[in-house]
Chain A
């Protein structure tokens, strides 16, 4: 490998009101390497890449390409320097075709007329060469997320970019698509292109990168060769303290039945069959019961039916001895806290401040209101207490608008709010989705702590690792039914996978047992 650095970002400092997003960060990208940029949510990875791509101007520091100082004022400058970026949220025009999206901004024209034929040839050649299968004439809104990403990659290749930035590219992909992407990235590197790979997923970084630069809270922590390090060391660098990658917990001591579900049926909005089809189970105090399954097998609807967000068409739900089958959401909430699947849709009012969001479930309590007037002082005090206790970070503390917070901290705020309700049942739906190691560790430990306090925890997760390590008992859902009950200590990931895929199912008798 050449020692020459193709891109150097030296002593970059970028501030935003109330926060230093990048504090004297140095990043050196060698020619032909895959360089991972690792850090927790809010560590400054995306800001640093936006600086490189010309979206932000740094207060201090300089960028060099091939040793020459360059000034990148906007993305056009970046493109001219051969820098391309696949954003976390794709920048595609939904109603344009794939081809139109690829050439947009770099169109070949003759006398003002588009020369699509040449463009098509070039794109086709690129797509074949790298195995980036796309349908050039399909509209972007009609293709899968994986294909949209390939369109973004082709956009960079079409512009002959030699420095490719991938901002959390795997977050939206299926495991197979992730493998394909890794292969493509290796292929690029072999050809001498240089790749910056932003991620907080350690497995992927270990699998594909040559070197790793770690950021933490806006500061540069260090750069290491991937072959000289391991997951544990990287996560320690990222979080700044030894991290438990495995969940540590004592054996569960299940107590009384807290939640009993009998024959619950929830109709589907998507098809005529029931999304949840005659499901029965019970959750006990002091255990973490996990509903596992591939996305879209009725887990979300099951939770909607339990929490009252949707009406069940049949069945009975008993919570703490009370029949809540037809109760309002508020009445169900008297004994159940709910960490919702979609934190932006259900979990937060994004345009409210953090403190307003933290009392979303509690504003009617006498300590926060007197005769219908909200006691702002009490709200502020409570919010500050939760923020401190649960380490929710934000630019302006309690008055930060929720929308401006990082995803991890938004989730922490929800967890803080729900766990602090101190209710016998905690329903947690994909509580760690999209979060980094530090946050995941934290949320897992919170859920285990609540379990040990005698709460019943009902967890819905799509992550096999999480299912296996966190739960005390696993129920597998497939096509709206519970097809198996497993003991995580006695089962394997492979067996769990078979149930999830519908290849195996337990008899009704076994399920009852």
Chain B
């Protein structure tokens, strides 16, 4: 038996990263082409604004505005980077939620519903417990845990339907999403949490800062001044690492993956497959619930409570975040940041050019579309790797190939 360590290019992980990078680059190129077409076909834009737009798509995060002469200026933009991290926080969490479920063989399309339930629970606790009598830090913690719990319960419902009645979790998740959307509207409609102080705003509830509850900044505001960033991103990163440890290093992760990969074999080995399916969905739900907690407990974010006609995009965006990361919990940190970076790019386009932020929606859509293909791209990369090994059709090449092989196996 010959053994040899695969070189860097042959390694599974390398290929995954490469496949995702290719999806991202193609997405951004498509966006650039669109910008170019729009620029050339619109007399008010022209080639130079198209060039500005394209540069912003790739480097919008580091744009600092325009100089007096009207040229784009670049540099460290603490607001953009801080806001990117802030917006990445819930995306990382919903991405983790989807990734955990995927790893255990389940498709958690219920992240939006779990996110909504987490939002409702967090806000009710954060606004409902008076901070005059209870320390704000404790309220924050309770609200955080409440959001996680609400998400977990909401995730466990499709899990139980799957485990005990064999109802497809995708269907159940779609149902629970809309139930959550209507339930949340119903709970807040007529409640005391509606923001009636700022009467320019309808259907928003109070920011948690109203009750002095806000996620601590943990010094991040010093690094990224003038941004919304807070300690939430650190919590998200820590949770991603914890999820990674859970899935790869623990017996629980082993059981969950065994169930996801082959439910029959798991049952054969005495693993309680039903319990694990429910547990896996509950964990996924809790992560989505935490996404909501971390976003809305920041103190400055407002929740639009009349959600019954739409589901939060943050929930659904967890799917491309997870796909792009090939369901790797650590990868999710980076893909989550990337997706929120596109948000920032959208803002920069709107602020600095005549383009609007919708161009980034196109880019996101293309990437989402391609991320579903990242497996295909990965397969193509694998094939390429193999093709390099097999001799080409001319006979003369064969000995050279074998020599190369010999060298590798040595």
Contact = CB atoms under 8 A, between A and B. Distances in A.
A406 to B, nearest CB: 13
Nearest to A328: B270
A345 B261 CA distance: 11
B252 A372 contact: yes
Contacts of B405: 15, 59
A18 interface: yes
Interface of A: 13, 15, 17-20, 56-57, 59-60, 71, 73, 307, 309, 328-333, 338, 340, 345-352, 356, 360-361, 363-364, 369, 372-374, 376, 393-397
Interface residues of B, number: 32
B226 interface: no
Contact of B250 (A56, A346, A373): A373
Contacts of A331: 270
A84 B3 CA distance: 35
Interface in B263-279: 264-272
B390 A309 contact: no
16 contacts: A17-B4, A19-B1, A19-B2, A57-B390, A59-B391, A59-B405, A333-B269, A345-B262, A346-B264, A346-B267, A346-B268, A351-B261, A352-B257, A352-B258, A374-B250, A397-B1
Contacts of A71: 393
Given A71-B393, A372-B250, A349 B267 contact: no
B1 A393 contact: yes
Nearest to B399: A60
B252 A345 contact: no
Given A364-B251, A373-B250, A374-B249, A349 B4 contact: no
B218 interface: no
B402 interface: yes
A275 to B, nearest CB: 18
Contact of B270 (A13, A350, A352, A361): A361
A68 to B, nearest CB: 15
Contact of B269 (A15, A361, A372): A361
Contacts of B1: 18-19, 393-395, 397
B313 interface: no
A349 B266 contact: yes
B391 A349 contact: no
B401 interface: yes
Contacts of B179: none
B390 A360 contact: no
Most buried by A among B257, B262, B269, B402: B269
A350 B269 CA distance: 14
Most buried by B among A20, A349, A364: A349
Contact of A350 (B262, B266, B271): B262
A76 to B, nearest CB: 14
B251 A347 contact: no
B87 to A, nearest CB: 34
Nearest to A340: B268
Nearest to B406: A15
Interface string B233-258: 00000000000000001111010011
Interface of B: 1-4, 6, 10, 249-252, 254, 257-258, 261-262, 264-272, 389-391, 393, 398, 401-402, 405
Contact of A360 (B3, B252, B258, B272): B258
Given A60-B398, A373-B249, A396 B3 contact: yes
Contacts of B261: 349-352
B256 to A, nearest CB: 12
Contacts of A328: 270, 272
A351 B252 CA distance: 17
B280 to A, nearest CB: 15
B254 A348 contact: no
Given A329-B270, A360-B269, A18 B391 contact: no
B251 A372 contact: yes
Contacts of B254: 356, 363, 374
A165 B358 CA distance: 59
A330 B266 CA distance: 11
A73 B272 CA distance: 49
Given A361-B269, A372-B251, 17 more contacts: A13-B402, A17-B389, A20-B2, A59-B390, A59-B398, A307-B268, A309-B268, A330-B270, A330-B272, A331-B270, A346-B264, A346-B268, A349-B262, A350-B262, A360-B258, A363-B254, A374-B250
B172 to A, nearest CB: 24
B128 to A, nearest CB: 36
B244 to A, nearest CB: 13
B101 to A, nearest CB: 16
A404 to B, nearest CB: 13
B251 A363 contact: yes
Nearest to A357: B265
Contact of A60 (B4, B257, B393, B402): B402
Most buried by B among A13, A307, A346: A346
A333 B2 CA distance: 36
B251 A374 contact: yes
A374 B255 CA distance: 11
A386 to B, nearest CB: 15
A457 to B, nearest CB: 19
A376 B248 CA distance: 10
Nearest to B266: A349
A133 B393 CA distance: 41
Contacts of B251: 363-364, 369, 372-374
A28 to B, nearest CB: 21
Nearest to A20: B2
5 smallest CB-CB distances across A and B, nearest first, come from: A330-B270, A346-B268, A329-B270, A349-B262, A360-B269
Contacts of A330: 270-272
Contacts of A57: 390-391
A338 B268 contact: yes
B358 to A, nearest CB: 40
B255 to A, nearest CB: 8
Contacts of A376: 249
A309 to B, nearest CB: 7
A360 B1 CA distance: 24
A338 B271 CA distance: 15
A394 B2 CA distance: 10
Most buried by A among B6, B249, B252, B272: B249
A73 B390 CA distance: 12
A309 B271 CA distance: 11
Contacts of B389: 17
A56 B96 CA distance: 40
B29 to A, nearest CB: 33
A349 B264 CA distance: 9
A332 B270 CA distance: 9
Nearest to B246: A372
B269 A309 contact: no
